[in-house]
Structure 1
Amino acid sequence: MLTIGFIGAGNMAQAMIKGWSGNQEIQQVVYSPHAGHKVAESLHIEAKDSALEVWLTSDLVVLATPPAQLEAVARELQPGILIKPSVIVASVLGGISLNQLHKALGKTVVVARTLPNVNVAVNYGYTALAFDADVDADIKGAVAALFLELGRTDELIEEQFGIASAIAGSGPAFVAAFTEALKEVGVTKGLTDEVAAKLAEQTVAGTARHMAQTKKAPLDLANEVMTPGGSTAAGFDVLTKGGLNQLLLDTITATMVKNAEFE
């Protein structure tokens, strides 16, 4: 039985807990001074009374607190690090580098910097991983295998985390906004709110699943749907000439600029 402990119980921690909840070989525990017991009860896992207790009972600890709390949490964990140095840390702290994590936790702690998105809750997420250069390949593989249960994962260099965060981390909000826009068009053109919502959601979800399962590139699928000179091609032409690519570039750039302010 592998024990994963969460220090922090916010939205991302809860999404990861939900994603791993179906694995009977994983036991999960959580500590948060304010929400820990409530989250543990709602997600049917065990609450601990301190970060140190989480460390001492876990094989892998997910740091999911606000970044500003890292120093305080690290101080509390120091006795546990001495007693049980084998624990692996997976940090989801935004903007906190591997060097900063080691400065707080110590140079000997094995740390993975992780960037999951909320879709890990339904095992269809994306997680970027970054490791120190000297981390053993077996440890990398074990950590990656855990996150593969939550969806897709790739090992990236830290310099790529900014763009990965803007696309994968913030992307669900942008896709949700596009889905809402499709729904609103449906309502405007005469559908009920309920039917329009289901139509938009199923179209977006089904298209994503189609591309993933058939391994088709987005434009290949688009070209399969379109008949030259047909109705889909007419709409697609409006979409592309309307500056969709530039709009997304501006959206992702604005996200990256704001993220950089917190680093």
Structure 2
Amino acid sequence: MSVALNCNISFIGGGNMAQALIGGLISRGFIESQIRVSAPSEKTRNILREKNIEVFSENAEAIAPADVVILAVKPQVLANVLQPLHGAFENKLIISIVAGVTVDLIRQLTGATRIVRVMPNTPALVQTGAHGMYAESSVSQEDRQLATQILAATGLGLWVERESQIDAVTAVSGSGPAYFFYLMESMIRAGKNLGLDEKVATALTLQTALGAAQMAISSDKSPSELRQNVTSPNGTTQAALEVFDRAQISQNIQTALAAAQKRSQELAQELSDKVQQFKN
């Protein structure tokens, strides 16, 4: 955080993801006076005031002294928010966590050239996020380092080489928490059907998910190897996995993520078309 700690950061938008980043930055040594937030909701501004964050209703006022501006608004309002600010981002690094909005579209709306696009996910709310990051080759290594340090406040940040890969990031990690929640729901329901109390089934499922993830992160073995280590020949785990294989669970997961990637591409195109209509 050595580079980031010397920066003033302004957020346009103060929702859950912005608040997660703010909390992560402060926990890593950031001073509240270095952070400014513009938000249209008085309720949101009050929440941030309670955290000693300076808040504004006007975006231009919030970003004026910023070295870094983080865009954290809903995609459908982005054009309305940014067009009045065109030209106000000179000498500022923009980090966008707005889903489906391309670097080129942000450049058109802001006139800026120093832009990093990020696809975060909701575990950022508990500082365990997984963020896909992209910037064009014209963005300096210093700006990339700065963006990496800022996003590290809420989890893991990984760079992709092509912007089109952000759609794959969306499919894998952006939507990914929902897949694991779906599996948890199913395991809890199965535990209840097998005679366990719901609280017991829930606690066992969640702790098992946490433990498996931690094992996979800390081990030098691949998830495939770890699965094989748990699977005794003709044992209980094998009996369950054989059912998964007969149902083609692995193939279905791959098909599902391909569908998520395709939908991400479609939404990005729909948003781009709407913005072009707005500009015209």
Using the size of structure 2 for normalisation, the TM-score is 0.85
Q: Which residue of 1 aligns with 2:216?
A: 211
Deviations 1:234-255 (A, max 9, x none): 2122222221112212322332
Q: Is the 8 A contact 1:9 1:39 kept in 2?
A: no
Distance in 2 (CA, whole Å) between partners of 1:255 and 1:183 is: 25
Distance in 2 (CA, whole Å) between partners of 1:210 and 1:251 is: 26
Deviations 1:36-63 (A, max 9, x none): 3144146553322211122123322111
Q: Which residue of 1 aligns with 2:120?
A: 116
What is the SS of the residue equivalent to 2:10? strand
Distance in 2 (CA, whole Å) between partners of 1:240 and 1:208 is: 22
What is the SS of the residue equivalent to 1:153? strand
Q: Which residue of 2 aligns with 1:153?
A: 157
Q: Which residue of 1 aligns with 2:68?
A: 60
One of 53, 61, 76 as aligned partner of 1:45: 53
Deviations 1:145-178 (A, max 9, x none): 2222322221111011111101111110111111
Q: How far does residue 179 in structure 1 lie from its aligned partner after superposition?
A: 0.8
1:151–1:29 Cα change, 3 Å: same
- Give the total of aligned pairs: 259
Q: Is the 8 A contact 2:21 2:153 kept in 1?
A: no
Structure of higher RCO (CA pairs closer than 8 Å, 6+ residues apart): 2
Q: Which residue of 1 aligns with 2:181?
A: 176
Distance in 2 (CA, whole Å) between partners of 1:51 and 1:40 is: 15
Distance in 2 (CA, whole Å) between partners of 1:40 and 1:212 is: 34
Q: Percent identity?
A: 26
Please tell me the root mean square deviation across aligned C-alpha atoms, in Å. 2.0
1:5–1:215 Cα change, 3 Å: farther
1:126 aligns with 2:134: no
Q: Is the 8 A contact 2:122 2:177 kept in 1?
A: yes
1:31 aligns with 2:35: no
Q: Which residue of 1 aligns with 2:93?
A: 88
Distance in 2 (CA, whole Å) between partners of 1:42 and 1:223 is: 50
Distance in 2 (CA, whole Å) between partners of 1:95 and 1:87 is: 22
1:220–1:64 Cα change, 3 Å: same
Q: Which residue of 2 aligns with 1:135?
A: 139
Q: Is the 8 A contact 2:12 2:38 kept in 1?
A: yes
Distance in 1 (CA, whole Å) between partners of 2:109 and 2:144 is: 21
Q: Is the 8 A contact 1:18 1:43 kept in 2?
A: no
Q: Is the 8 A contact 2:125 2:154 kept in 1?
A: yes
Q: Is the 8 A contact 2:9 2:69 kept in 1?
A: yes
Q: Which residue of 1 aligns with 2:202?
A: 197
1:99–1:79 Cα change, 3 Å: closer
